Amino acid sequence: MNILNRNYLDCFNFISKRQLATCLVMSLFFVILSFFLMSDVYAFQKNRVNEQLKVKAAFVLNLARFIEWPEETTGEEKEDVVLCFYQYNFLKESINSILDKKINNKPIKIKVIKELKLKGRCDVVLIPESAISLFVNYNDFDDLQKKITITDLSHGDVEYKSNQSHEYFLENKIIFRLTREKSRLRFEVNKTASERLGVIIGSELLKLGILVKDQESHSKRVYP
């Protein structure tokens, strides 16, 4: 408080009008900041969260659209494409933004599943980052066949996450993972996983995504 008082006293002892104006503008500036800190702007912040999640939902929609779907998904007897969230819906209400869209001319349906018995239930499996360790322990590859597996690692440091979770990615259970590059969303493609799970990835995704073998080199930066 002493520092504060002394500085304000300095302000009033000014001789120069310009310096006084500087102090007043600075003070006003921080008063405005404080006001916004205390005011009810958090509601707006929540909207911004949704915007980010909506982009991720649109990403998921695009990933699903550029897959060459197996016949059991596209056949007439199949009524819809089912997106299963393992453990919980990490896209929250933003997933609603894609529910009126179609994948392969089929409407989209959402499920939250707590157990990994996927056959006949899910076409796309969305695994939140916190549930990856559970998912890794699931070794029924027959059950995973023809399922598109996607996880989201874009919250934090992409390189760190890549290193930490490299093992499970290479275990070929997860085909796509959302990552971030600086301020933008990216996705990585595990082609070996797609082959193992019998999912054919469209050329558009292979062109735009970071192939898992390239991922390591992508994350390194050198200054020759």
Partner 1 sequence: MCSKSLLKYYSLLFLLIPTYSFSAAEQESSTEREPSTLDQESSTDQEQNYTEMSLQQLMSLEIFTAASLLPTELKKAPGTVYSFNRQDFKRLGVRRLNELLGFVPGFQLNQYRKRHRSVWARGMIDRYNNKMKLIVDGVPIEHVYYGHFSAGENLALEKIGKVEVIIGPASSLYGANAFAGVISVTTREFIGQGSNADEAVVETGIELGNHSRAKGTVFYNSEKIQGFLSYLDQDAPFDEDRESFIGTSVSQPLDEQYKNLYLKAEPIKGLQLSFDYQYSETPFVFFPENAPHKTRDNTEERFYNLSARYEAGNLEQGKIETIAYYVDDQAKEIYKHGQDEVAYKENRDSRYYGIKATWLKTLFVKHTMAFGGQWQHDEAKDMDYVKNWNHNTGYYNPPVAGSLLSGENVENDDYAIFFQDVWEINTELTATLGARYDVFDQFDNDSNYRIALVYTPTVQQTIKMLWGTAVRKPTYREYLKVLENTSFVADTPKTEKMETFELGYGYQWENANINVTAFYNEFDDYLHEIPTPDGNDEYFVNSNSTWRIHGVEVLSEYQLISDVHLRATVGWLTARESGNGDIPYLAEWTASLLSDYRWHSSHHLVFSLMYNDDRRDTNDQSFSQDEADAFTTLNVHAYGKIFENISYQVGVKNLTDEKVFDTAADFDDRYNTQRTERELWGKITYTYRF
Give, as ranges, the residues between 200 and 219 that touch partner 1 (CB under 8 A): 204-205, 208, 213-214, 216-217, 219
57 by Cβ neighbours in 10 Å (0-12 / 13-18 / 19+) ranks as: buried
Of 79, 105, 115, 183, which lies in the binding site for partner 1, with binding defined by CB under 8 A?
A: 183
Least Cα distance to 89 among 134, 57, 117 occurs for 57
Angstrom distance (rounded) from CA 86 to CA 33 = 41
From 109-117, 134-142, 143-151, 156-164, give the range in contact with partner 1 by CB under 8 A. 156-164
SS3 83: strand
180 touching partner 1, by CB under 8 A: yes
Identify residue 49 by its one-letter amino acid code: V
Give the residue, chosen from 75, 139, 160, 198, that forms a contact with partner 1 under the rule CB under 8 A. Answer: 160
Q: Does 2 bind partner 1 (CB under 8 A)?
A: no
Nearer to partner 1, 154 or 194 (CB): 154
Least Å distance, CB 187 to partner 1, is 8
> Looking only at residues 11 through 50 of this chain, which bind partner 1 when binding is defined by CB under 8 A?
11, 13-14, 18-19, 21-23, 25-26, 29-30, 32-33, 36-37, 41-42, 44-45, 47-49
Q: Two tokens at 202?
A: 């469209």
**Residues 196, 211, 186, 103: what is their CA dihedral angle, to the nearest 10 degrees?**
-40
Asked if 54 touches partner 1 (CB under 8 A), the answer is: yes
CB 128, CB 151: distance < 8 Å: yes
Which among 54-62, 77-85, 137-145, 168-176 is the span making contact with partner 1, rule CB under 8 A? 54-62
Residue type, 44: F
112 contacts partner 1 (rule: CB under 8 A): no
How many angstroms separate the CA atoms of 187 and 205, rounded? 9
By CB under 8 A, which span of 61-69, 75-83, 139-147, 167-175 interacts with partner 1? 61-69
